[in-house]
């Protein structure tokens, strides 16, 4: 078990959606030497910047959360950038961790790494049984390559590491940009905009038949910190709620949460993405003593309340 009071930690992406909660949980564990490299100061896709970051902070533990990521639309628009940025960041960070004798490297993976037709619930053993869903394959494959790199570095160099595979995350401070956001913030914004403008119809991508599983950001952060504390080898561990829901039912929950009473319209010309997603989280419970504690209904309520406050503060 790590003694956080005596551990120098770098959290890449620590100012972001998941990272800010991970940093809060580390501070609650009395982590005193916590560093968050900002993109304006360190471009982690560039090796010289990664070298300088390690020189400046000399971490014992690196928790790598920084990523270029988005919903289906963003993945379709930027497959090359998503592959390059996510692979190059991890490549440079892991190599420098090895060269400097970092005590542990923690890699946040993604449910997008799973094969398109993985049997539900997704078990970690199925990770290599096929190719990911096409719209997010460049992102998912880049992350999978880093899992292989960490395993190779453990076997050749003894680098201790941990890998977690969170399902789709949501919560306060998420990205609500309609062009780049994931499904929950996009649908919350669409419904709130419709209520504010008096629209009686909201149009959603796809058929609504695809299923997803969603994990509240605080639950994900707790699982990730426990992985840093308790895991030493990069055997992937799922983090999820264990509850599967169709996008159509999710949309109905969101409409109810924001008070939209109009018609939900579906656009089947847009892709549904992977047909189903739901994780088996028994390994996380067995190895980390972790399970999600926030229901989707409660998490949506908190997320909608947070976004309403931002809309009041910044009407534009």
Annotation marks residue 216 as catalytic: no
Tokens standing for 9? 């930690």
Question: Which residues have C-beta within 8 Å of that of residue 14, sequence separation ≥ 6?
Answer: 20, 22, 23, 34, 35, 36, 37, 63, 65
Q: Which of 54, 139, 153, 216 is catalytic?
A: 139
- Find out whether 37 and 86 touch, Cβ atoms under 8 Å: no
Cα 87 from Cα 146, distance rounded (Å)? 7
Q: How many other CB atoms sit within 10 Å of the CB of residue 269?
A: 7
DSSP bridge pairs for 204: 266
∠ CA 297-301-303, rounded to 5°: 115
Q: Verify cis geometry, omega within 30 degrees of 0, for the bond prior to 100.
A: no
Question: Cα(302)–Cα(90) distance, rounded to whole angstroms?
Answer: 32
Tell me which H or E stretch contains 70.
none
| Residues annotated catalytic, as ranges | 139
């Amino acid at each position: 078990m790590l003694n956080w009071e005596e551990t120098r930690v770098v959290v890449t992406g620590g100012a972001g959606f998941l990272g800010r909660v991970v940093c809060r949980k580390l501070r609650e564990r009395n982590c005193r030497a916590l560093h968050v490299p900002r993109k304006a100061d360190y471009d982690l896709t560039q090796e010289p910047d990664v070298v300088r970051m390690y020189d400046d902070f000399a971490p014992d533990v690196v928790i790598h959360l920084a990523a270029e990521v988005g919903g289906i639309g963003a993945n379709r628009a930027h497959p090359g950038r998503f592959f390059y940025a996510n692979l190059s960041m991890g490549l440079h960070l892991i190599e420098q961790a090895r060269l400097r004798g970092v005590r542990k490297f923690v890699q946040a993976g993604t449910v997008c790494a799973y094969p398109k037709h993985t049997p539900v619930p997704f078990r970690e053993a199925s990770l290599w049984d096929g190719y990911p869903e096409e719209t997010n394959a460049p992102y998912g494959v880049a992350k999978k390559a880093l899992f292989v790199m960490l395993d190779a570095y453990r076997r050749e160099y003894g680098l201790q590491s941990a890998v977690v595979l969170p399902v789709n995350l949501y919560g306060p401070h998420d990205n609500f940009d309609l062009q780049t956001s994931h499904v929950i913030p996009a649908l919350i914004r669409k419904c709130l905009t419709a209520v504010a403008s008096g629209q009686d119809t909201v149009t959603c991508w796809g058929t609504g038949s695809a299923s997803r599983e969603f994990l509240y950001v605080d639950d994900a952060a707790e699982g990730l910190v426990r992985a840093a504390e308790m895991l030493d080898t990069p055997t992937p561990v799922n983090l999820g709620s264990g509850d599967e829901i169709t996008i159509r039912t999710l949309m109905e929950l969101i409409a109810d949460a924001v008070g939209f009473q109009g018609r939900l319209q579906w656009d089947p010309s847009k892709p549904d993405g992977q047909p189903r997603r739901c994780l088996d989280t028994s390994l996380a419970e067995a190895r980390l003593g972790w399970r999600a504690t926030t229901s989707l209904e409660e998490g949506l309520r908190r997320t909608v309340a947070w976004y309403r406050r931002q809309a009041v503060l910044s009407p534009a």
